[in-house]
């Protein structure tokens, strides 16, 4: 088989697997095989770039870096919707519609109003050729490489009735679970958390590096189909056709024949919407027949044939009974409002987020005040304001603790940071517990059978102090341990007990964890800013814990993607004698302290002693290939432009900030050809 045939075969096969997985929830192939085929395709495409198909699944993993996004005009303007907030206003809409249609029968399609980012996708001859944001409705940003990372969005649409040119529109979003995963990861490395899923989605769609976009699993629900001429009679037909063509159309829509049916739909979703994978703030009601839509027409901003019904902001008011100060793994102190229980969106709320000391000041809230709470995209409701009219003599100022609520160590705050920190990293109980939880998580040592209060119990009984103690646990020490807990989250009583089966599971998992790859072990150590990806890079570069521990700051920063902040954090961590002992104990227990170093075969020394940074994309190199080429010839890759940088290699679509900084500092810029010339 020649390369072209194989590329075609692999493209079709992988697209088929993707379609089965994302559209039909059928897994026809295991991850390993899939990845191997994808790798084969990637390699072939690198050898024969001209043969890469526009619907290649390799486009989904990103790799394009855009400077500024080009502006594109929308073929059809992207309008907004009028809002209504009550049944009465909705009845007025219904009356207007019926009047505008001279009293004819009317059907509505009710959909959920998804809370994300409006996107528009253009298909030509079945291929996804452009994806854009709404912008001002007339023109938006062209973000095609980022749009292609949406796994549920077909890159090619096939079928006898697919028009040669069409557009689909929908709401791009970050699924709640994905939002939480990303925030968990940020928490892992002590990064500030993303505020809410909507902002996170909007920020992600506008990121310049599509590989980063691809790592965040964005999704999109489609709700409009546009072509000229129209090929459907009704909106319903268009939804069904999009679904049949493989687009992700949420099954939540319903056809309604009367206002009361619409109201029933609204009532039903008022509570059900919280079971969805994304936030929704209302319902969209659309006239079904296109002919009737045309008859009704548009105002300057929005269609007369559609309207949004907004659910009332999910707010409630209650009294602030107290504040609990929680201490996280990195020592950050977070205030949590303890509330008089109140019903909000079908659940009883007892706690709400207060974020940090600044937020308490901003709100001007006092103890025993009546406060407003709201449920937004986040899972935990937040305090949004104070009902000062209801303030009584009982209200008392909140005195922010100066000392850790758990270990009484004095708190400190760094310049410009919102959180206070407890510096007693090693002995502060909640920090210690969080460190254990970090250590046992799946992506670290994968001893999750120790979750759910079990670690707490082991610490409580002084069976473990350091995660290294886990490797000295025995069945005798564990069997029969038992404790009743009052779960603060649920308010329920729970019993944690170590029976034979539980103990077996735990000891097996601990034993098995010894085989976890070194990168996972390195991540498990809980070094600030060292997430799993950074850990993997460090392993590729250094190969062993001893090499990392021995590396001075400069050597650490020479590793790909390790900047001064991570390097300093590593140096500090390894300088601590207790941490060294911790490592030795883990080593003795049999944990992996070495990984496979990606040794780059030396081709020459033409670049010896020189530092490089690149920006944009290149005709003859993928990012990895370029990085390898630099290393293989004695050069060093750095992470940012500085005076010391020897060369900035500039490709297609370079990043504007790197270019201007290089110009400012007088750093030589070279093209891909010039780089090859250096070799």
Handedness of CA 491, 492, 498, 500 (dihedral sign): negative
Nearer to ligand IVH, 226 or 678 (CB): 226
Q: Which of 111, 142, 369, 456 binds ligand IVH (CB under 6 A)?
A: 111
Q: Please, what is the minimum distance in Å from the beta carbon of residue 224 to ligand IVH? A: 6
7 lines the binding site for ligand IVH (CB under 6 A): no
CA–CA distances in Å: residue 150 to residues 129, 144, 647 = 14, 10, 35
Catalytic residue among 67, 99, 113, 598: 113
Q: Binding to ligand IVH by residue 245, rule CB under 6 A?
A: no
Cα gap 635→434, rounded to integer Å: 40
Instruction: Please list, residue by residue across 44-78, b when 16 or more beta carbons sit within 10 angstroms of its beta carbon and e when fewer do.
Output: bbeeeeebbbebbbbbbebbbbbbebeebebeeeb
Stretch that binds ligand IVH, among 14-22, 74-82, 385-393, 577-585 (CB under 6 A): 74-82
Distance, C-alpha 266 to centroid of its chain: 30
**Which residue, 74 or 113, is less far from ligand IVH as judged by CB?**
113
Parallel, antiparallel or unpaired: strands 165-173 and 139-141: unpaired
Which among 111-119, 156-164, 380-388, 408-416 is the span making contact with ligand IVH, rule CB under 6 A?
A: 111-119
Determine, following the binding rule CB under 6 A, whether residue 141 of this chain makes contact with ligand IVH.
no
Of 34, 69, 223, 618, the one binding ligand IVH by CB under 6 A: 223
Nearer to ligand IVH, 113 or 528 (CB): 113
**Edge-to-edge strand list for the sheet holding 254-256:** 83-84, 306-310, 280-287, 108-114, 254-256
Q: Which residue carries 């050898």 as its tokens?
A: 47
Task: Say whether residue 113 binds ligand IVH (CB under 6 A).
Answer: yes
User: Rounded to the nearest whole angstrom, what is the least distance from the CB of residue 307 to ligand IVH in the complex?
Assistant: 9
297 or 668: CB nearest ligand IVH: 297
Q: Is 171 one of the binding residues for ligand IVH (CB under 6 A)? A: yes
Least gap, CB of 82 to ligand IVH (angstroms): 8
The two counts, helices (H) then strands (E), for the chain are 24, 23
Contact yes or no for 574/498 (Cβ under 8 A): no
Report the residue closest to ligand IVH, judged by CB. 118
CB under 6 A: which stretch of 20-28, 109-117, 199-207, 500-508 binds ligand IVH? 109-117
The residue among 308 and 383 lying less far from ligand IVH, judged by its C-beta, is 308
Shortest reach from residue 156's CB to ligand IVH, in Å: 25
Binding span for ligand IVH by CB under 6 A among 108-116, 385-393, 492-500, 515-523: 108-116
Three-state DSSP state, 458:
helix
The answer to whether 307 and 289 have CB atoms below 8 angstroms apart is no
* Segment near ligand IVH (CB under 6 A); pick from 113-121, 181-189, 467-475, 515-523: 113-121
> 10 or 308, CB closer to ligand IVH?
308
CB 616 within 8 A of CB 650: yes
Least Å from the CB of residue 171 to ligand IVH: 5
Measured from the CB of residue 81, what is the shortest distance to ligand IVH in angstroms?
4
Binding-site member from 303, 401, 429, 634 for ligand IVH (CB under 6 A): 303
Asked if 306 is part of the footprint of ligand IVH (rule: CB under 6 A), the reply reads yes
Q: Is residue 81 a contact residue for ligand IVH (CB under 6 A)?
A: yes
Task: Check binding of 118 to ligand IVH (CB under 6 A).
Answer: yes
Is 167 a binder of ligand IVH (CB under 6 A)?
Answer: no
**What are residue 225's DSSP bridge partners?**
168
367: CB partners within 8 A, 6+ apart: 320, 322, 323, 395, 396, 397, 398
Please give the size of the binding site for ligand IVH, defined by CB under 6 A: 15
Residues 598-617 that bind ligand IVH (CB under 6 A): none
* Nearer Cβ to ligand IVH (252/356): 252
Check: CB of residue 627 under 8 Å from CB of residue 649: no
Q: With CB under 6 A as the contact rule, which of the stretches 77-85, 317-325, 485-493, 591-599 interacts with ligand IVH? A: 77-85
Per-residue binding string, ligand IVH, 19-48, x by CB under 6 A, is ------------------------------
Q: Are 302 and 80 in contact (CB under 8 A)?
A: yes
Which stretch in 65-73, 78-86, 352-360, 585-593 sits in contact with ligand IVH by CB under 6 A? 78-86
The encoded tokens of residue 586 equal: 């883990």
Cα 43 to chain centroid, rounded: 28
Q: Contact with ligand IVH (CB under 6 A): which of 80, 86, 95, 125?
A: 80
Q: Which stretch binds ligand IVH (CB under 6 A): 29-37, 79-87, 388-396, 594-602?
A: 79-87
Structure tokens given for 128: 């996804």
Residue selected from 147, 200, 284, 287 as contacting ligand IVH according to rule CB under 6 A:
284
Q: Is 113 a catalytic residue?
A: yes
Q: 270: which residues sit within 8 A by CB, 6+ positions away? A: 311
Please tell me the total number of residues recorded for the chain in this structure: 679
Which residues lie closer than 8 Å to 29 by C-beta, 6 or more apart? 17
Complex with ligand IVH: residue 82 or 531, whichever CB lies closer: 82
- Verify binding: residue 525, ligand IVH, rule CB under 6 A: no
Give me the half-sphere count of Cα atoms (radius 13 Å) on the Cβ side of residue 217.
13
Min CB(218)–ligand IVH separation in Å: 15
- Report if residue 650 touches ligand IVH, rule: CB under 6 A: no
Give the Cα separation of 190 and 499 in Å (integer).
36
Note the Cα 569 to chain centre separation in Å: 24
Using CB under 6 A as the binding rule, whether residue 458 contacts ligand IVH is answered as no
Of 430, 356, 337, residue with least CA distance to 400: 356
Give CA–CA dist 375/362, Å, rounded: 19
Asked if 79 touches ligand IVH (CB under 6 A), the answer is yes
Q: Cα–Cα distance between 564 and 558 in angstroms, integer?
A: 10
Residue pair 242/222 in contact by the 8 Å Cβ criterion: yes
Positions touching ligand IVH (CB under 6 A) are 79-81, 111, 113-114, 118, 134, 171, 223-224, 284, 303, 306, 308
Catalytic residues: 113
């Amino acid at each position: 088989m020649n390369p072209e045939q194989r590329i075609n075969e692999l493209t079709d096969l992988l697209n088929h697997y993707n379609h089965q997985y994302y559209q039909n929830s059928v897994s026809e192939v295991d991850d390993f095989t899939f990845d191997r085929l994808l790798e084969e395709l990637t390699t072939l495409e690198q050898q024969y770039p001209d043969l890469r198909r526009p619907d290649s699944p390799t486009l989904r993993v990103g790799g394009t870096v855009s400077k500024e996004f080009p502006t594109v005009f929308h073929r059809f303007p992207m309008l907004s919707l009028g809002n209504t907030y009550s049944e009465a206003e909705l009845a007025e809409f219904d009356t207007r519609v019926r009047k505008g249609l001279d009293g004819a029968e009317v059907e509505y399609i009710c959909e959920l109003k998804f809370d994300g980012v409006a996107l528009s996708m253009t298909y030509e001859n079945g291929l996804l050729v452009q994806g854009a944001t709404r912008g001002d409705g007339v023109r938006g940003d062209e973000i095609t490489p980022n749009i292609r990372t949406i796994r549920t969005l077909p890159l090619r649409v096939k079928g006898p009735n697919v028009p040669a040119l069409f557009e689909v529109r929908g709401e791009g979003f970050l699924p709640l679970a994905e939002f939480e995963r990303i925030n968990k990861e940020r928490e892992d490395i002590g990064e500030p958390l993303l505020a809410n899923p909507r902002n996170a989605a909007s920020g992600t769609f506008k990121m310049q590096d599509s590989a980063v976009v691809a790592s965040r699993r964005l999704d999109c629900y489609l709700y409009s189909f546009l072509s000229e001429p129209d090929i459907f009679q009704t909106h319903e037909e268009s939804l069904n056709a999009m679904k049949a063509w493989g687009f992700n159309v949420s099954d939540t829509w319903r056809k309604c024949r009367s206002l009361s049916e619409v109201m029933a739909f609204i009532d039903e979703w008022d509570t059900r919407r919280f079971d969805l994978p994304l936030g929704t703030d209302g319902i969209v009601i659309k006239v079904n027949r296109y002919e009737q839509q045309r008859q009704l027409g548009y105002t300057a901003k929005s269609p007369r044939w559609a309207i949004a019904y907004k659910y009332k902001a999910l707010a409630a008011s209650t009294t602030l009974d107290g504040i609990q100060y929680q201490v996280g793994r990195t020592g950050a102190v977070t205030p949590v409002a303890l509330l008089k229980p109140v019903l909000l969106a079908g659940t009883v709320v007892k706690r709400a987020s207060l974020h940090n000391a600044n937020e308490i000041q901003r709100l001007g809230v006092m103890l025993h005040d009546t406060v407003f709470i709201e449920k937004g995209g986040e899972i935990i409701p937040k305090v949004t304001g104070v009902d000062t009219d209801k303030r009584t003599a009982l209200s008392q100022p909140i005195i922010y603790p100066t000392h850790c609520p758990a270990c009484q160590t004095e708190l400190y705050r760094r310049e410009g940071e919102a959180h206070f920190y407890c510096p007693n990293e090693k002995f502060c109980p909640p920090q210690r517990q969080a460190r254990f939880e970090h250590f046992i998580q799946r992506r670290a040592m994968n001893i999750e059978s120790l979750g759910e209060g079990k670690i707490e119990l082991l610490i409580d009984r002084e069976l473990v102090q350091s995660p290294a103690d886990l490797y000295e646990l025995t069945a005798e020490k564990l069997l029969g341990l038992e404790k009743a807990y009052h779960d603060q989250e649920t308010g329920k009583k729970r019993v944690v007990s170590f029976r034979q089966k539980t103990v077996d599971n735990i000891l097996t998992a601990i034993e098995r964890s010894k085989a976890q790859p070194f990168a996972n072990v390195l991540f498990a150590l809980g070094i600030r800013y060292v997430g799993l990806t950074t850990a993997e890079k460090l392993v590729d570069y250094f190969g062993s814990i001893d090499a990392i521990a021995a590396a001075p700051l400069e050597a650490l920063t020479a590793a790909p993607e390790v900047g001064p902040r991570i390097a300093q954090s590593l140096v500090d961590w390894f300088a601590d004698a207790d941490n060294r002992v911790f490592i030795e104990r883990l080593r003795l227990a049999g944990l992996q302290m070495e990984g496979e170093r990606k040794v780059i075969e030396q081709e020459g020394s033409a670049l010896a002693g020189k530092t490089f940074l690149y920006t944009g994309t290149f005709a003859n190199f993928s990012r990895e290939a370029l990085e390898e080429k630099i290393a293989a010839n004695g050069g060093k890759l750095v992470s940012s432009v500085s005076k010391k940088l020897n060369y900035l290699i500039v490709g297609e679509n370079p990043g504007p900030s790197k270019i201007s900084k290089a110009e400012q500092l007088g750093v030589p810029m070279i093209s891909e050809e010039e780089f090859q010339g250096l070799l």
